[in-house]
Chain A
Amino acid sequence: MFLRLLKKDLLVEFRSREVSASMLTFGLAVIMIFSFSINISPDLFRRFAPGLYWIMVLFIAVLGLHRMFSHEKEFDTFSMIISAPVERGLIFLAKWVSGVLFLTVAEILITLPFLLFLQVGIPEQWVILIVIILLGNIGIMAIGSLVSGLAMRAKMSEVLLPILLFPLVSPQIIATVQATTAVFDGKPLASWQLWLNLMITFALVFGLAGYLFFEHITEE
């Protein structure tokens, strides 16, 4: 059933391309603004790059989270889905996984321009960097899908979503930025093991919370 729900979310996005297209163009625009507004030497910039990268990711994630339920609101399809004899936690899991996939697709196309345009360069441990980025996405989208569900039916949901999300996601941002910085500096795993553990904990805790609470979020 989970796979059917996931297939549905992926097909809807594949047809409309709303989420990935908006994430991608917005990401590129942010990179341009970063390069215009930060006039420092590449060496110095490298120290800021992990933080800026995750600011950008968080912004495009918010953009995607806004659209997470948009097609289901327009024709009241959400009611159709929750009325089905399906465990509601699975609806959350499908949203979470599809959200991570959309964000990752957008990042695949944005990360390289970010590293090259801003003259950061590709770090040696780029495989580990990919793992960290994926873990970061998983955590951000876990709490993000949960908060998106809470804000979905509210007035001013576009304001409410980031206001609720940013403080809740702050430990995840600290952890991912620290881990990314460590990898940029080529530090051994032992020095950032803590941040790795924190990211995994965060994803597990809020993934589980979303799975358990979605039952109470879905109903109007």
Chain B
Amino acid sequence: MFVTRFNNRLRTGIIIMILLMIINLVNILFNSPLVPIQQWAQKIFYYHVPCAWVAFLSFFIVLIAGIMFLKTKNYKYDRLGLAAAELGTFFTVLVLITGPIWASAIWGKAWTWEPRLTTTFVLFLIYSGYFMLREFGGAPERVARYAAILGIIAFIDVPIIFISVRFWSPEVQSHPQVEMALQPTGIMTTFFFSLFTFTMLYFLMLWIRTGILSLKVKNQ
């Protein structure tokens, strides 16, 4: 019963998502103006920034799920936290891949210790540890609590990391986000559509992943 209902909604969701992604791609390629100087390299920003947004949104959900789990001890929130942590890490990896692609075209070097990129990288490391803790922590009842705490302290650490890196690396780099205001107006519509698409994609993935995790528990 649950499975069939899940399946039907899942199918609809995936079809809508595929359509959205295609429209988004067409929009980005043909429906937005080329930015002076950056030219085609700028196009990756329609993917890079939504990925970063979704990753941070995801880690925020890990934080909320962690607080809720510690309060209620309901494993629903533990599964939500795990799913969000997985997706957040996945999108973090995408950010760390797309960032250097853009940077090597514009800055001429793939990596700089730029605050946003560095914070994302540190978060990626913290969450690698998070999955190791999940894996090696022992009994799942305890691991759920520990993961919740780690999710919370990781999020608390984000602003501190960001501030410290920002003042540590003195060179102020040009930034896709910062320069957006200077660009032709046409790019904003495309950008917000892409942001919307990625947010939808994220919530669909989160829904599927939590669904799978709760099915796993039911079948145990």
Direct contact of A and B (CB under 8 A): yes
Tell me the A residues contacting B by CB distance below 8 Å.
143, 146, 150-151, 153-156, 159-160, 163-164, 166-168, 170-171, 174-175, 178, 194-195, 198, 201-202, 205-206, 209, 213, 216-217, 219-220
Looking at chain B, what size class is its interface with the partner chain? 20 to 34
Given A154-B136, A168-B153, A216-B70; A198-B129 close (CB under 8 Å): no
Contact B165 A153 (CB under 8 A): no
Known pairs A153-B137, A156-B136. 5 more at Cβ < 8 A? A164-B129, A164-B132, A167-B126, A171-B165, A201-B160
Contact A178 B70 (CB under 8 A): no
Contact A167 B149 (CB under 8 A): no
> What's the dominant secondary structure at chain B's contact region?
helix
> How far is B142's CA from A171's CA once the two chains are assembled, in angstroms?
28
Contact B150 A150 (CB under 8 A): yes
Residue on B nearest A162 in the bound complex, by CB: B129
Residues in A neighbouring B163, C-beta threshold 8 A: 171, 198
Contact B168 A160 (CB under 8 A): no
Given A155-B138, A163-B128, A164-B150; A171-B157 close (CB under 8 Å): yes
Question: B142-196: which have CB < 8 Å to A?
Answer: 142, 145-146, 148-150, 152-154, 156-157, 160-161, 163-165, 167-168
Given A154-B137, A154-B138; A167-B153 close (CB under 8 Å): no
> How far is B126's CA from A44's CA once the two chains are assembled, in angstroms?
33
Contact A194 B152 (CB under 8 A): no
Interface centre among B126, B157, B165, B168 (most CB of A within 10 A): B157
Residues in B neighbouring A168, C-beta threshold 8 A: 126, 153-154, 157
Q: Is B103 an interface residue (CB 8 A)?
A: no
- B129 CB contact (under 8 Å) in A163, A194, A201: A163
Residues in B neighbouring A159, C-beta threshold 8 A: 132
Residue on A nearest B143 in the bound complex, by CB: A154
Q: Is B41 an interface residue (CB 8 A)?
A: no
Contact A174 B165 (CB under 8 A): yes
Contact A160 B145 (CB under 8 A): no
Contact B136 A160 (CB under 8 A): yes
Would you mind naming 15 contact pairs between A and B with Cβ atoms under 8 Å apart?
A: A150-B133, A153-B138, A154-B136, A155-B137, A159-B132, A164-B150, A168-B126, A168-B157, A170-B161, A171-B160, A171-B165, A178-B168, A195-B167, A216-B145, A220-B142
Residues in B neighbouring A155, C-beta threshold 8 A: 136-138
Shortest B219–chain A CB gap in Å is 25
Contact B153 A206 (CB under 8 A): yes
Question: B11-37: which have CB < 8 Å to A?
Answer: none
Residues in A neighbouring B132, C-beta threshold 8 A: 156, 159-160, 163-164
Residues in A neighbouring B138, C-beta threshold 8 A: 153-155
Q: Is B110 an interface residue (CB 8 A)?
A: no
Contact B133 A154 (CB under 8 A): yes
Interface centre among B132, B153, B154, B165 (most CB of A within 10 A): B153
Residues in A neighbouring B164, C-beta threshold 8 A: 170-171, 174-175, 198
Given A167-B122, A174-B164; A150-B136 close (CB under 8 Å): no
